[in-house]
Amino acid sequence: MDNFVFYSPTRFIFGKKEELNTGTYVKQFEGKRVLIHFGGGSAERSGLLQRIRDSLSGQKISFVELGGVQPNPRSSLVYSGIELCRKEQIDFILAVGGGSVIDSAKAIAMGTVYNGDFRDFFEGKAKLTKALPLGVIPTIAAAGSEGSDRCVITHEEGMLKRGAGGEAIRPKFAIMNPELTMSLPPYQTASGAVDIMAHVMERYFSNTEETEVTDRLCEAILLTVVTQLPKVMRNPSDYGARANLMWAGMIAHNNSCGIGREQDWASHHLEHELSALYDCAHGAGLAVIFPAWMEYVLKHHAPDRLVQFAVRIFDCKMNYENPEETALAGIKALRNFWKNAGMPLSFKDLGAKEADIPVLLDKLGVDSHEEGKYVRLDRKACEEIYRLACINH
């Protein structure tokens, strides 16, 4: 196990109707003038926005609103948000929505108090030291952005999807009511679940030795998704299953599962180019990329962790004479699990084109650096994974 620092100071308020207490928590963190940031019309139609407005008003907290965040959130809205926050002298940002909304809010929070282009943080030109405080009310179990200090923005100049982060943008509080996720379409629910699993798997496939406790924590989260997602797909109003998925999504990405070990974010990066180019759901893109990455890995790395994954998560029978077969059975089981939840498994399912692979590779910029840690990936390796992802299943 490697040395590490673990710090997760967000206050998580979890359960039914907790959004009714939004004003109380904003007040606790001294928010007096709030930007409510959200996505499309569903937060309005469901009555959620109104409940939040009422809760803020109940505490005599004033607010302005900025909606319109798209999936794969765009830099143009971030610029608008920064301008609005400055003009309105906002001192607290409240993100109401999915990972895209939270990430957009984080970018606005960092940009508002920075004398320069917020894009600097995404290009390594500036180090994040301060931001407006923010609170979040997630409406999907997916990105885990409610407990993380990271955000991902699609910069429209070049359509580059890039990440940035630092302690300053970690949410002060997250109000998590699983009921808010019940109205999600099945495709979004499943995409979110894939994202949760991927966040764990990027940490699980690691060369660091003697990491039993984090291995087991990773497996705990994966087993939770494997048992709870089918329940939610059968009955979208299953509160218990929604609650388990939602908390799993937070643990999957506040680094509980990643401390003390080398992590491998190659699949995430390979996917980011897909969702940047085709504007697909991030989780759907991961369902296409991750098993292809695993197939590549099986050819270039000892199969031990793929085997452990197969046996412990999907109860595959251990083949002691030919562990590669067990590993392959695990990859197959993963694809089946995602397919049963309605996820795409290939470029074709996703609406991506094999002919675009050179474009994806160029955007990934993999000529100037290698991707991945568990297995190092050069351009040729990345190309092979994209090609594997073109095979229909």
Q: Does 145 bind its own copies (CB under 8 A)?
A: no
Given candidates 107, 217, 276, 360, which one binds its own copies under the rule CB under 8 A?
Answer: 217
Q: Which ranges in 176-322 belong to alpha helices (H)?
A: 186-204, 212-234, 239-251, 266-278, 282-300, 304-314
Find the shortest distance in angstroms from Cβ 256 to its own copies.
7
Instruction: For residue 49, give both structure tokens.
Output: 């926005």
With respect to its own copies, which residue has the nearer C-beta, 193 or 382?
193
Q: Does 29 bind its own copies (CB under 8 A)?
A: no
Q: Does 12 bind its own copies (CB under 8 A)?
A: yes
Q: Are 306 and 186 in contact (CB under 8 A)?
A: no
154 CB-near residues (< 8 Å, 6+ apart): 72, 73, 74, 75, 160, 161, 276
Distance CA 203, CA 265 (A): 8
Distance CA 120, CA 128 (A): 10
Distance CA 368, CA 365 (A): 6
User: If you write DSSP's letter for every residue of 219-255 in order, what string do you get?
Assistant: HHHHHHHHHHHHHHHH-TT-HHHHHHHHHHHHHTTTT
Q: Does 317 bind its own copies (CB under 8 A)?
A: no
With respect to its own copies, which residue has the nearer C-beta, 224 or 326?
224
Given candidates 11, 45, 125, 300, which one binds its own copies under the rule CB under 8 A?
Answer: 11
Closest CA to 9 of 122, 133, 103, 93: 133
Distance CA 20, CA 158 (A): 41
With respect to its own copies, which residue has the nearer C-beta, 198 or 259?
259
Q: Does 156 bind its own copies (CB under 8 A)?
A: no
Given candidates 22, 75, 206, 211, which one binds its own copies under the rule CB under 8 A?
Answer: 211
With respect to its own copies, which residue has the nearer C-beta, 81 or 133?
133
Q: Does 157 bind its own copies (CB under 8 A)?
A: no
Longest Cα pair distance anywhere in the chain, in angstroms?
Answer: 69
Q: Which stretch binds its own copies (CB under 8 A): 235-243, 316-324, 334-342, 370-378?
A: 235-243
Q: Does 240 bind its own copies (CB under 8 A)?
A: yes
Q: Does 159 bind its own copies (CB under 8 A)?
A: no
Q: Does 30 bind its own copies (CB under 8 A)?
A: no
Find the shortest distance in angstroms from Cβ 369 to its own copies.
27
**Element (H or E) spanning 63, and its range?**
strand 62-66
- The site map against its own copies for 257-296 (x = CB under 8 A) is --xx------------------------------------
Which residues are at the interface with its own copies (CB under 8 A)? Answer: 1-16, 18, 209-214, 216-217, 219-221, 223-224, 227-228, 239-241, 243-244, 247-248, 251, 256, 259-260
